Amino acid sequence: MTVELRKFERDARATRVLHETFVSRMKEAAVQQGAQTPDSRIISAATPGKQVAPRSGLIKFLGVIAGAASGLGIVLIRQIRQSAVPIGADLELATSVPVLGHLPLAPIHQRSQLVGYLSTNPTSPLSEAARILRTSLLSPNADAPPQVILCISSVPDESKTTMSIALAQSMAGLGRSVLLVEADIRSLSFKEYFPDNPNGGLVTALTGGTRLGNLLRTDIRFSIDVLMGERSTRSATDIFSSLRFHDLMQRLRADYDNILIDSPPVLAVSDVRAIGQACDAILLSVAPATTSRAQLGQVLREFSSLNVQVTWLVMSDLGSARKQTNAGGQPYGAYARYYDV
């Protein structure tokens, strides 16, 4: 009896162990099955996507615009450099005309202040520059220093008159007798620098109706004589092409060591071509801020066609001068005052 009871107990323990093993395995299987079951489900099917960024079309368009703008800028810069007047030695190489010197800008606000500035500031940069021009012009090594000097420019407002006045003062500083002639009889700007002469000026001198001495004004600040310009009903070109003008210049040569003639701009009117044939030397004022390479070349060609050569170039510092232009790009707007007569 006891032996059977123990046998049943052993069978019971074996059955319990086996049961526990099966329960454990079943739990493991349930855990593995749960791990493989997804936690999400499909609500709706996905739609095909499209690119939002970067916006390649816009980037390509902006790239084309930027490239075109850069190319245009490079072309414009090259064109400006090619049309601008070279400076110094490069200017001499480009024109085959020597550069005599450089004329700095006078620190004045009105033209009427120029003569006073030069007379009270004998050591100013402008006065010193004028002395350098004078020394080069009147060099004792020169075979024949020029007596009659024509001061010209390509277009208006290129310091042509400042050059002629400063050079006249500098020559008078050597004790030389100097006459300053206003041949720009269309503009008549000398009245802003010197007192007007009620007896008349250049045109009256050509008619011979008034004694020449009465038409000359001596400026005590410079110790120079000034022959003012005058309006005329005759063509200015005809006046300077006449024998009377050449005869007058011969008479003045006998009375003065140096005669400086302030002329109209070359490209504005034709007067200068006639005046140049009565002079010994021609100084052309070149302002890089306003003078273009084409304008400078045209001036040199026009004088060369008359067998008259521009003797020297003088660089004028005008800073950022403004130019009026017409639709063709030429500064004819600045010539307006020359066509009022």
What is the per-residue pLDDT across 29-48, written as a single tens digit (0 to 9) for each? 766 666 565 666 677 777 77
Residue 215: pLDDT band by 50, 70, 90 thresholds? very high
Q: Which helix (H) or strand (E) holds 101?
A: strand 99-103
Please report the DSSP string for 36-96 in residue order: HS-S---SSPPPPP---SS-HHHHHHHHHHHHHHHHHHHHHHHHHHHHBPP-THHHHHHHS
pLDDT at 323 over 80: no
Query: Residue 341's pLDDT is what?
Result: 39
Lowest mean pLDDT among 49-58, 160-169, 258-267: 49-58
Q: How far is CA 295 from CA 94, 161, 298, 299, in A?
A: 13, 19, 5, 6
The span from the first CA to the last CA of the chain, in angstroms, equals 159
pLDDT value of position 76? 62
Strand partners, 262: 151, 182
State residue 325's pLDDT score.
35
Upstream peptide bond of 198 is cis (omega within 30 degrees of 0)? no
Q: Which residue has the higher pLDDT, 314 or 340?
A: 314
Q: Tokens 């009896």 map to which residue?
A: 1
Q: What is the model's pLDDT at position 330? A: 39
DSSP per-residue string spanning 255-276: H-SEEEEE---TTT-SHHHHHH
Identify the weakest region by mean pLDDT among 19-28, 35-44, 162-171, 233-242: 35-44
Dist CA 10 CA 187 (whole Å): 141
Asked whether the predicted pLDDT for residue 339 surpasses 60, the reply is no
Per residue in 142-153, pLDDT (tens digit) is 678 899 999 999
Least confident range from 50-64, 110-124, 213-227, 236-250: namely 50-64
pLDDT at 254: 94
pLDDT category, 290, cuts 50, 70, 90?
A: confident
- Mean pLDDT rounded to a whole number for the chain: 80
Going by C-alpha positions, the residue among 284, 280, 239 that lies closest to residue 258 is: 280
Average pLDDT in the 285-296 region? 83
| Confidence band, pLDDT 50/70/90 cuts, at residue 332 | very low
